[in-house]
A = this chain, B = another copy of it.
Amino acid sequence: MAGAIADPVRREILLMLREERLSAGEIAERFAVSRPAVSRHLRVLRESGLVHDELVGRRRFYVLDTGRFTELAEWLALFARPSGWEHHLDALETEVYRTRRERRERGVADRGRENTA
């Protein structure tokens, strides 16, 4: 996963997906590089679990998966000093889990196969 975040294009994609889910094309047109290149970046993000995709008709939307960020936070916490922020990062973790649960509840309904574009 660390490798996935190392690339500036992929980091930018992750930032874009904070706001809303975006289709592969919508993402690609915001970069100077070719669409296939972006497509592969998306694959890397997908395989590292940082995003997942939702197929809608002939379009493929990408959605941020906040869960994996927890690991980064945990690693970061290893560098905390005793008096420091480990505690806060615990709270962070809890928050992320909550997020995940909420998403699940909000609808497994639209997990694939939506209709009409």
Contacts and interface: CB of A to CB of B under 8 A. Distances in A.
A79 to B, nearest CB: 6
B92 A79 contact: no
Interface stretch (A2-10, A21-29, A35-43, A107-115): A2-10
Interface residues of A, number: 30
Contacts of A91: 85, 88
Copies of this chain assembled into the complex: 2
Nearest to A102: B81
Q: Is the interface of A mostly helix, strand, loop or mixed?
A: helix
A69 interface: yes
A81 B95 contact: yes
Contact of A76 (B8, B72, B99): B72
